[in-house]
Amino acid sequence: MTKKALLVGINDYAPVGAGGPDLRGCVNDVRDMANTLNVLGIVPATPGTMQILTDARATRVAILNGFKWLIKGAKKGDVLVFYYSGHGSQVADTSGDELDGKDETICPHDYATAGMIKDDDFRALLAGLPAGVNLDIILDSCHSGTGTRELAVMAAAPEELSVAYRYVEPPIDWGFFLDANPSLPVRGILMPGGTGGARDAVVVPGLNHVLWAGCRDNQTSGEGLIDGVVRGFFTYHFCKVLRGAGVSITRRRLDAQVTANLKSSGQTPQLEGTSASIAEKVFT
C-alpha cells in the first residue's frame, strides 16, 4: 500500500514580496497538516512520500505536476492526500459542463499570469483514477464571491480580531461574465450537485475521491490569530480534532466535530463522497 501527500500553501502571491493579494496563515496550515499526517502515521514525512509546495514554488505548473505525481501509479488500497491552503475564486464556465455557469478555482502563486487551476483541470486528472484508491482532497479556500465585500469592514479591526478571507477577484476578462449573471447559484470546486444552504455530508454516488472544503459554497474561508499564530480556521480545527481522535474516527464524525468547532467563525465545512467513503474511518 502506497501512502503519498501533496501539500500546498500560499501566503505570497506574485509578485514576490509585497504587492500580491497575500495571506499569512497558509504556510502555517501546511506545517500543521504535514505534522498531523506524519504523527498519526497517515503519510510519512519523507521526500519520497510527501511533497510540499509553498509561496513562489507553488506555481500552476508545479501544482499540476505535483498532482500528477500524487496519483501516478495509484492502485486499490493506496492512501493519497491533496491539501491546499490559499485563495479560491470563480471564473465563467466556457465548456458548458457547469449547471451554475461557473468554474470554481484555486489560485497558484502565479495565477495572474499563468492562470488559475479550475475544477475542470482536476476532473480531467482524476478521470482515470482506479477504483478503490483512497484519495482525500482538502481545500481551505473560498468558493464564493462574497468575501471581498467583507474585507474592507475587517481591515480596520485590531490584529488580534481581524480576519482575512481566502477569496481573490478573478481578472475582468473572466469575472465580467460572472457579474453579468448575479442570479446564478454558486457551487464549490469539485462539488457536483451542490446547491448551498445548511446540510449534512453530501453523498455523491460514484465519486472517486473524498472532498473536504473549508466552507460551504456560499461562504468564505477565513484565517486569523489562534494562540498567537495566524492559521486557517478550518485547518486548525481539522488537525486539532483529528489528532485528538486518531485515525479510528469516521469521516462523518470528524466532519461533525470540526463543524461544531467552527460555528463561532461563521463558516461551515463541507464533506462530499460516496455513502461508503463518508462512513469509513478517515484516510482508509
- Whether 21 and 13 have beta carbons less than 8 Å apart is answered as yes
Angle separating helix axes 26-39 and 233-245, nearest 10 degrees: 10
How far is residue 57's CA from residue 48's CA, in Å, rounded to a whole number? Answer: 18
- List strand residue ranges (DSSP E) for 59-98, in order: 79-85, 88-92
What's the CA dihedral at 272, 277, 278, 281 to 10 degrees? Answer: -140
Q: List Cα–Cα distances, 17 to 13, 56, 215, in angstroms.
A: 8, 10, 28
What backbone phi and psi angles, to 5 degrees, belong to 242? Answer: -65, -45
Q: What residues act catalytically?
A: 87, 142
The DSSP secondary-structure symbol of 257 reads H
CA angle 129/133/138 to nearest 5° reads: 90
Buried b (16+ CB within 10 A) or exposed e, 236-264: bbbbbbbeeeeeebbbbbbbbbbbebbee
- Whether 258 and 212 have beta carbons less than 8 Å apart is answered as no
- Rounded to a whole number, what is the distance in angstroms from the first to the last CA of the chain? 11
The DSSP secondary-structure symbol of 45 reads -
The DSSP secondary-structure symbol of 281 reads B
How far is residue 11's CA from residue 18's CA, in Å, rounded to a whole number? Answer: 11
How far is residue 210's CA from residue 194's CA, in Å, rounded to a whole number? Answer: 14
